[in-house]
């Protein structure tokens, strides 16, 4: 076919087929001839009479959708034989299409972006390449981009340093609530894929004192977590740690961070929030604080009468509790033994930890976890033995703890859960480009 070109840029004596305009710029450039490049999102042909047809083309690029009415018979013919999702270049003047080239002809697409209605369906995880092309996914990813940039601005202002996170290591966080760590053969040694970079945060604060990272975590969660709508097997944490800080400092920082992110998204992503029909409320500080004990009492009065002291709060109870709130809230002071060995035991009350979780309201559940850290070697070792943590791979950590590790506090805020909450999504697998679902 003459119009199907296999070289890019397109060679043409008469017109410069070079992308000169995006869909969202069209109205400004309406008086000029433009070249748009993008996808056939959808089209429909109407017969106006026996001889005249009009083709309604919904054209898509990274910035949005635009409808064109095409009446030139040769152009109608060209498009009519194409599959949706084919890549084309169009030459326009205002809203009139004067010419067209085919850049990449699509085969039939298993799930057409223009026909997707059930956005939380697991089929969209499998057919990710096409689900990613919807206006809805684009809105979610643009919001996530705004989250990333606001986090970086926030920490720059607070004088924290961003570090690159570890992906593999001889040991990783074992306190991951039943999930398994992934392993790989690292030149003959069994290395773990990072489940959380907590140990490395303690290492780095001995250098820079105030650090953060966008850190990737692999956790082979139980299949049952598919039902929670908030577990992935691969996710990111905004991981934060500060030397010589206590857990109140960490919670204050967490509140400020969250409010900064919410405000930035509201400011920068109005169109995207509208598309998602999400009315994001900016919470006010300080957030409400409940202790674990208070939460347990409240849950027992609800339908969770058989909750035992010292037990982790089950996911369904956490959801029910979060449904009672209309703003984020803290749960603090979890019982000793319920969390990883690195959460600091309260010296004044050894049965509890100086730690916290932040809960989103509206049934969205846990947003972040954090604590003051154990930093003394003897204490850490004793707790690890008590909790039955296999000590293989921790030699470097024990060596380090005996050589000047300060007290610190910090937290990890799940990126996909944050995106899910901000966007108001039912399933967490909508909140990332490439979800790995347990
Ligand atoms: P949960 O109890 O909900 O399984 P957790 O308490 O085991 O989570 P943490 O170890 O506290 O998780 O991880 C810190 C943060 O990372 C969580 O607060 C959450 O935002 C995020 N997170 C943890 N596990 C997952 C997961 N499987 N998928 C997506 N985000 C997660
Ligand atoms: Mg947690």
What domains can you pick out in the chain, each with its CATH number? 2-108 (2.40.50.140), 123-431 (3.30.930.10)
User: From the CB of 201, is ligand 1 less than 6 Å away?
Assistant: no
- Return the C-alpha torsion angle 258, 260, 263, 265, nearest 10: -80
**CA nearest ligand 1 atom 19, residue:** 414
Question: What is the 369 CA–ligand 2 centroid distance (Å)?
Answer: 4
Query: Alpha-carbon distance 361 to 363, whole Å?
Result: 6
What's the confidence (pLDDT) of residue 5?
A: 53
Query: Alpha-carbon distance 185 to 65, whole Å?
Result: 47
Token code pair at residue 428: 């967490």
Query: Alpha-carbon distance 112 to 133, whole Å?
Result: 9
What's the confidence (pLDDT) of residue 213?
A: 98
What's the confidence (pLDDT) of residue 79?
A: 97
- For tokens 């697998």, the residue is 429
- Asked whether the bond before 56 is cis by omega within 30 degrees of 0, the reply is no
What's the confidence (pLDDT) of residue 174?
A: 87
User: From the CB of 366, is ligand 1 less than 6 Å away?
Assistant: yes
User: From the CB of 369, is ligand 1 less than 6 Å away?
Assistant: yes
Q: Which ligand is nearest to the CA of 217?
A: 1
Token code pair at residue 256: 């400020």
Q: Based on C-alpha coordinates, what's the Rg of the chain?
A: 27
Helix, coil or strand: residue 308:
coil
Tally of CB atoms within 10 A around 426: 10
What's the confidence (pLDDT) of residue 8?
A: 66
CB distance 254 to 370 below 8 Å:
yes
The strand pair at 87-93 and 64-70 is best described as unpaired
Low-confidence ranges of the chain (pLDDT < 70): 1-9, 11
What's the confidence (pLDDT) of residue 9?
A: 67
What's the confidence (pLDDT) of residue 56?
A: 98
Residue 24 half-sphere exposure toward CB, CA atoms < 13 A: 5
The strand pair at 355-360 and 365-372 is best described as antiparallel
User: From the CB of 412, is ligand 1 less than 6 Å away?
Assistant: yes
Of 371, 358, 363, nearest in space to 420 by CA: 363
Pocket residue to mutate for ligand 1, from 222, 225, 312, 414, most atoms within 8 A of Cβ: 414
Neighbour-count burial for 40-70, b at 16+ CB within 10 Å, e otherwise: bbbbeeeeeeeeebebebbbbbeebbbebeb
Query: Angle at which helices 135-157 and 247-268 pack, to 10 degrees?
Result: 130
User: Could you report the per-residue pLDDT of 239-258, keeping only the tens digit for each?
Assistant: 999 999 999 999 999 999 99
């Amino acid at each position: 076919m003459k119009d199907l070109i296999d070289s890019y840029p397109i060679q043409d004596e008469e017109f410069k087929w070079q992308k000169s305009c995006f869909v969202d710029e069209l109205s400004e450039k309406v008086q000029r001839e433009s070249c748009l490049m993008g996808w056939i999102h959808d089209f429909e042909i109407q017969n106006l009479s026996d001889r005249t047809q009009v083709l309604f083309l919904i054209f898509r690029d990274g910035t949005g959708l635009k409808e064109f009415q095409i009446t030139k018979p040769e152009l109608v013919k060209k498009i009519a034989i194409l599959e949706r999702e084919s890549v084309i270049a169009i030459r326009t003047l205002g809203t009139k299409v004067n010419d067209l080239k085919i850049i990449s002809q699509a085969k039939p697409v298993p799930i057409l972006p223009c026909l997707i209605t059930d956005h939380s369906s697991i089929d969209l995880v499998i057919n990710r390449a096409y689900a990613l092309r919807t206006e809805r996914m684009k809105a979610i990813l643009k919001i996530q981009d705004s989250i990333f940039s606001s986090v970086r601005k926030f920490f720059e202002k607070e004088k924290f340093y961003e570090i690159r996170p570890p992906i593999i290591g001889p040991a990783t966080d074992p306190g991951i609530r039943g999930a398994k760590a992934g392993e790989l053969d690292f030149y003959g040694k069994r290395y773990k894929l990072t489940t959380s970079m907590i140990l490395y945060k303690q290492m780095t604060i001995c250098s820079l004192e105030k650090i953060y990272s966008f850190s990737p975590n692999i956790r082979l969660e139980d299949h049952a977590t598919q039902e929670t709508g908030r577990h992935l097997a691969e996710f990111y944490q905004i991981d934060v740690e500060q030397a010589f800080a206590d857990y109140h400092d960490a919670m204050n920082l967490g509140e400020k961070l969250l409010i900064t992110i919410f405000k930035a998204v509201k400011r920068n992503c109005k169109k995207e929030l509208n598309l998602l029909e999400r009315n994001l409320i900016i919470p006010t500080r300080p957030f409400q604080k409940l202790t674990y004990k208070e939460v347990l009492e409240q849950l027992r009065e609800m339908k969770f009468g058989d909750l035992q002291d010292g037990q982790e709060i089950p996911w369904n109870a956490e959801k029910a509790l979060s449904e009672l709130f209309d703003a984020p809230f803290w749960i603090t002071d979890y019982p000793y033994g319920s969390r990883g060995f690195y959460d600091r035991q309260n010296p004044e009350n050894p049965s509890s930890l100086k730690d916290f979780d932040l809960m989103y309201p509206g049934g969205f559940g846990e947003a972040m976890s954090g604590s003051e850290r154990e930093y003394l070697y003897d204490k850490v070792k004793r707790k690890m033995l008590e909790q039955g943590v296999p000590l293989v791979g921790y030699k470097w950590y024990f060596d380090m703890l005996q050589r000047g590790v300060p007290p610190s506090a910090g937290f990890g805020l799940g990126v996909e859960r944050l995106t899910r909450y901000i966007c108001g999504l039912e399933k967490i697998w909508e909140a990332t480009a490439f979800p790995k679902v347990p």
